[in-house]
């Protein structure tokens, strides 16, 4: 899937792809590309076949619906020209993820088969020359700018807490038996704390959103190399997924690549 979206001064071109991987028999990931809103979301569901896929689907659908509702308000923040610090959009993005959390929780209460389901969420909205993120869990957002790659999101995971506490190294975390345990998820409880972040876009910035099926198997520098070598943006998600599968593909793999270009 490949999409194009416009904005004053910049436009975002994007491509996304999901793959079941080599070890799983079903895909619990979902992703969204909404070219009108310049909204991009990756969600990695958990809670079994029915639960995980349902949670991630509800998440992307609810976030899209909530942001479309905001876009259609008479005083829509999508129409406002503000600097990054004054932009109201991050809070609306946070609210959309919080709403998704409530909808997933309610669905699980209504159907015992979905009990305990939840999902990660990494979402990006490109607007007014800004990249705005809302994040829960261990799906990631990266910025690739020239020769540099930086992880924008911070993993809400047990191993990341252990790294911050000095208990294990980053290399040890890659092989930890606890590497798939997350400390926050959307929908497992009625409410969740959502991290929001923002930065000013520059032309030719790339943003990579991905589930841990990619991040656990492909190094940051390799992500930068693949993205930097891309001439057709739709090839980047495909190549990154191929890399993860070549290394075992032990989880579902979802990738969206977004590029900010001059309009």
pLDDT at 176: 82
pLDDT at 108: 95
CB 52 within 8 A of CB 185: no
Residue 159 placed within a domain? no
Residue 179 placed within a domain? no
State the burial class of residue 129 (Cβ atoms within 10 Å of its Cβ: 0-12, 13-18, 19+).
middle
Query: What phi and psi values does residue 131 have, to the nearest 5 degrees?
Result: -110, 120
Spatial separation of the C-alpha atoms in residues 187 and 196, rounded to whole Å: 18
- Smallest CA-to-CA distance from 248 within 200, 214, 202 is with 214
* H helix or E strand, kind and range, residue 131: strand 130-136
pLDDT at 5: 46
Is the overall model pTM greater than 0.85, yes or no? yes
Query: What phi and psi values does residue 10 have, to the nearest 5 degrees?
Result: -135, 155
Give me the number of domains the chain comprises: 1
Which tokens sit at 164? 């911050």
Residue 105 placed within a domain? yes
Residue 11 placed within a domain? yes
Spatial separation of the C-alpha atoms in residues 48 and 51, rounded to whole Å: 5
Q: What is the DSSP letter of 78?
A: G
Query: What torsion, rounded to 10 degrees, do the Cα atoms 211, 48, 181, 56 define?
Result: 40
* H helix or E strand, kind and range, residue 191: none
Residue 27 placed within a domain? yes
Residue 212 placed within a domain? yes
Which residues on neighbouring strands pair with residue 32, listed in sequence order? 41
Which tokens sit at 30? 């979902």
Residue 220 placed within a domain? yes
Q: What is the CATH number of the domain that holds 227?
A: 3.60.40.10
Alpha-carbon distances of 211 from 18, 121, 139, 251, rounded to whole Å: 9, 9, 4, 9
pLDDT at 4: 46
pLDDT at 49: 65
From first to last of its 263 residues, the chain has per-residue pLDDT tens of 555 443 457 889 999 999 999 999 999 999 999 999 999 999 999 986 679 999 999 999 999 999 999 999 998 888 878 888 888 899 999 999 999 999 999 999 999 899 999 999 999 999 989 999 999 999 999 999 999 999 999 999 888 888 888 898 888 887 788 777 899 999 999 999 999 999 999 999 999 999 999 999 999 999 999 999 989 999 999 999 999 999 999 999 999 999 999 87
Structural domain including 137 reads: 2-151+184-262
Do strands 121-127 and 39-46 pair parallel, antiparallel, or not at all (unpaired)?
A: antiparallel
Residue 178 placed within a domain? no
């Amino acid at each position: 899937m490949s999409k194009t979206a416009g904005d004053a001064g910049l436009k975002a071109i994007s491509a996304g792809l999901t793959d079941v991987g080599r070890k799983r028999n079903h895909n619990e990931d979902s992703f969204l590309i909404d070219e009108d809103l310049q909204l991009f979301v990756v969600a990695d569901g958990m809670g079994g076949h029915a639960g995980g896929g349902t949670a991630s689907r509800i998440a992307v659908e609810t976030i899209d619906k909530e942001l479309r509702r905001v876009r259609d308000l008479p005083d829509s923040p999508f129409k406002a020209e503000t600097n990054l610090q004054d932009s109201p959009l991050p809070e609306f993005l946070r609210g959309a993820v919080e709403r998704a959390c409530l909808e997933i929780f309610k669905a699980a209460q209504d159907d015992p088969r979905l009990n305990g389901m939840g999902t990660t969420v990494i979402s990006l909205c490109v607007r007014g020359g800004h990249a705005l993120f809302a994040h829960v869990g261990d799906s990631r957002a990266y910025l690739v700018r020239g020769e540099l790659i930086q992880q924008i999101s911070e993993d809400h995971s047990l191993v990341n807490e252990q790294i911050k506490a000095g208990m294990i190294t980053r290399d040890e975390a890659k092989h930890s038996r606890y590497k798939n345990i997350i400390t926050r998820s959307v929908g497992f409880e009625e409410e969740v704390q959502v991290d929001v972040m923002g930065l000013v876009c520059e032309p030719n910035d790339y943003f990579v959103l991905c589930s841990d099926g990619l991040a656990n198997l492909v190094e940051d520098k390799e992500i930068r190399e693949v993205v930097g070598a891309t001439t057709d943006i739709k090839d980047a998600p495909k190549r990154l997924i191929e890399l993860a599968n070549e290394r075992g593909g032990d989880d579902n793999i979802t990738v969206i690549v977004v590029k900010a270009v001059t309009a």
